[in-house]
Chain A
């Protein structure tokens, strides 16, 4: 088992300097951000965009950029990073190349919990959303973990149980969506995963949560590296395996849960980003985690930008686009890891 799964974490790219790659990614992300702020139904020239962002513009685009575009782009950054880091943690801890927040049921659980909160108690503060969503994700993940546990966790069993649990939770979401038809249009977009109409309020509710969790993940990077060597080696090197694993999973749930809470399931980002990052910079978590975060950001930003420019003024939800890319990528992964 270990012999076959480990191939997923060997990187055969010869790494010259991972930090350089990280900075290149960062530059691309910033460039894309600037372009993305200007793109959409109303186009803003690049230079005007930059000036407006720093408050030195002509004032013509102030409102649209500062109240519409910037919050959603900011959201794309943290949500993309949230999904990607969550996926990296899960794949690292479970040592399953196909694990992701979707597969192990976190997003469905978090989605259901936040749907209940949003539709059932709309008057409740948005600040509560990450906690409720985290709770939902936690319940789903715990359920999957317990049901899949049978003398250890096998990747295939985990995937199957995750699919089943997700199906049940998703039917719950379906039920809510069909019983509260007032906000159906919005619900559909939200279910497909979208950054449409996100505001600074939601950003402020989520951002600290994601930053804290991300820092926590970075602090665990060394332990995660050791864990990747296998349980016995990790114990031999003085890491308490089970507590570490549970803590890492809890953080993964928190990150994915918070992201789902504000923009629904942006599919496959949590699956794709870690693999891409691993191919870029290798498997050491102190560099892998930030790289994955950036890759996730890039994926979500690109999807969101594309969704806005394909046929304005109609928007295609970012989740639709990431799924269209992610489905084939997932199948490619199935081929690459055909050992099991």
Chain B
């Protein structure tokens, strides 16, 4: 008896240590990434010292200015976008119980970008949208439009893929997602071609990019990251139960529809805001939850801490790589995440038992 409790305690202590180690390591990796991201760039002489000095003893020199108005918001935005996408992936994989669920594959990104592209056309008028400001949340910008689009794309795939009717063949859902994404992307291309202005910047944005961002973008996305984290925390235990099976979750007193609705709202907030500021960035939301699960297991209470950190780290490092692809010119970060994420997705399809 005592032996058993002892070993239980031991195991729990060991697991806690394991979690702690994972948190610390990923945190350190992220911080190093942020430092690198703010010190690597086309302008020389903006180094780690400038990073700290500009934080605490801002003197208005060119280096400090670059650091505070270009490098820092960019790194912060990359990190937040990565965190958002990772949360979105975690929530999606949790509520759909589908290992391949992610905002990129399930039409959420495509829907959001279609609506954003529509918002930039003359029908809606970009200046009008970006001039709306609400207190605390900062400039409203295109975020609500992106939310609508994210909801539109996600719901389309959700119902067409047959989740609602109880069939849960993951691959069907993926195929439906790809088809809907292609459809929405085509509509978006049509929109862009028809409107004929801003095409260059829109094409760049469509590949997914965080460069050229400012603190406004950070302020735009930050509250939604918080909302997403809060929702994930609220749902964590429910998601753990849902992972055991829908019947189990129902048997233990959970309302699946409520879980899915709240989770869906969370996904729309995090994925929509990420697309609004950085364009559709693929594969981060798909692979980060998988990496996290490999590192620390399946408990969503722990995953919800690790996933945003690793997602942020992945985006920050991808953004650094993106600078080197065509140095000193910038390339969209979405290209790097696709290059990294595609093979990982392949690896997942090789490993997982998704093809029965």
Task: Please tell me if the beta carbons of A164 and B203 are within 8 angstroms of each other in the complex.
Answer: no
Q: Contacts A163-B174, A316-B194, A327-B179; is A175 near B325 (CB within 8 Å)? A: yes
Task: Please tell me if the beta carbons of A327 and B182 are within 8 angstroms of each other in the complex.
Answer: yes
Interface secondary structure of B, over-half rule: helix
CA distance A124 to B199 in the complex (A): 28
Task: Please tell me if the beta carbons of A317 and B204 are within 8 angstroms of each other in the complex.
Answer: no
A258, CB-defined interface residue at 8 Å: no
The count of chain A contact residues (Cβ–Cβ below 8 Å) is: 50
Task: Please tell me if the beta carbons of B193 and A327 are within 8 angstroms of each other in the complex.
Answer: no
A185, CB-defined interface residue at 8 Å: yes
Task: Please tell me if the beta carbons of A184 and B331 are within 8 angstroms of each other in the complex.
Answer: no
A197, CB-defined interface residue at 8 Å: no
The count of chain B contact residues (Cβ–Cβ below 8 Å) is: 52
Q: Which of B171, B174, B189 contacts A188 (CB 8 A)?
A: B189
Residues of A contacting B356 in the complex (Cβ-Cβ under 8 angstroms): 156
CB-nearest residue of chain B to A328 = B183
Q: Which of B82-90, B220-228, B340-348 contacts A (4 or more CB under 8 A)?
A: B340-348
Residues of B contacting A147 in the complex (Cβ-Cβ under 8 angstroms): 346, 350
Task: Please tell me if the beta carbons of A320 and B189 are within 8 angstroms of each other in the complex.
Answer: yes
Task: Please tell me if the beta carbons of B186 and A327 are within 8 angstroms of each other in the complex.
Answer: yes
A177, CB-defined interface residue at 8 Å: yes
CB-nearest residue of chain B to A316 = B190
Task: Please tell me if the beta carbons of A174 and B192 are within 8 angstroms of each other in the complex.
Answer: no
CA distance A161 to B172 in the complex (A): 14
CA distance A340 to B160 in the complex (A): 16
CB-nearest residue of chain A to B204 = A178
CA distance A327 to B94 in the complex (A): 27
Closest CB in chain A relative to B329 CB, distance in Å:
7
CA distance A340 to B282 in the complex (A): 27
Closest CB in chain A relative to B123 CB, distance in Å:
13
Task: Please tell me if the beta carbons of B171 and A320 are within 8 angstroms of each other in the complex.
Answer: no
A226, CB-defined interface residue at 8 Å: no
Q: Contacts A161-B346, A171-B334, A175-B335; is A267 near B182 (CB within 8 Å)? A: yes
Q: Which residues of B in the span 206-264 have a Cβ within 8 Å of any Cβ on A?
A: 207
Task: Please tell me if the beta carbons of A331 and B176 are within 8 angstroms of each other in the complex.
Answer: yes
Residues of B contacting A331 in the complex (Cβ-Cβ under 8 angstroms): 160, 176, 179-180
Residues of B contacting A320 in the complex (Cβ-Cβ under 8 angstroms): 186-187, 189-190, 193
Closest CB in chain B relative to A317 CB, distance in Å:
7
CA distance A168 to B339 in the complex (A): 5
Task: Please tell me if the beta carbons of B355 and A154 are within 8 angstroms of each other in the complex.
Answer: yes
Closest CB in chain A relative to B344 CB, distance in Å:
9
A167, CB-defined interface residue at 8 Å: yes
B283, CB-defined interface residue at 8 Å: yes
Residues of B contacting A326 in the complex (Cβ-Cβ under 8 angstroms): 179, 182-183
CA distance A259 to B157 in the complex (A): 30
Residues of A contacting B189 in the complex (Cβ-Cβ under 8 angstroms): 188, 191-192, 317, 320
Q: Which of A160, A311, A330 contacts B171 (CB 8 A)?
A: A160
Closest CB in chain B relative to A87 CB, distance in Å:
15
CA distance A154 to B355 in the complex (A): 8
Task: Please tell me if the beta carbons of A156 and B335 are within 8 angstroms of each other in the complex.
Answer: no
Q: Which of B186, B196, B203, B341 contacts A267 (CB 8 A)?
A: B186
A301, CB-defined interface residue at 8 Å: no
Closest CB in chain B relative to A185 CB, distance in Å:
6
CA distance A191 to B342 in the complex (A): 20
Closest CB in chain A relative to B155 CB, distance in Å:
14
Task: Please tell me if the beta carbons of B199 and A188 are within 8 angstroms of each other in the complex.
Answer: yes
Q: Bits for B142-182, please: 1 = Cβ < 8 Å to A, else 0.
A: 00000000000000000011100001010110111011101
CA distance A165 to B178 in the complex (A): 13
Q: Contacts A159-B175, A179-B326, A179-B329; is A168 near B342 (CB within 8 Å)? A: yes
Task: Please tell me if the beta carbons of B171 and A159 are within 8 angstroms of each other in the complex.
Answer: yes
Q: Which residues of B in the span 301-343 have a Cβ within 8 Å of any Cβ on A?
A: 325-326, 329, 331-332, 334-335, 338-339, 341-343
Instruction: List residues of chain B with CB under 8 Å of any chain A CB.
Output: 100, 105, 160-162, 167, 169, 171-172, 174-176, 178-180, 182-183, 185-187, 189-190, 192-194, 196, 199-200, 203-204, 207, 282-283, 325-326, 329, 331-332, 334-335, 338-339, 341-343, 345-346, 349-350, 354-356
Given contacts A175-B325, A177-B203, A178-B207, 4 further A-B contacts (CB under 8 A): A156-B356, A159-B175, A319-B186, A331-B160
- List the 3 closest pairs (A to B, CB-CB), nearest first: A327-B183, A323-B186, A171-B338
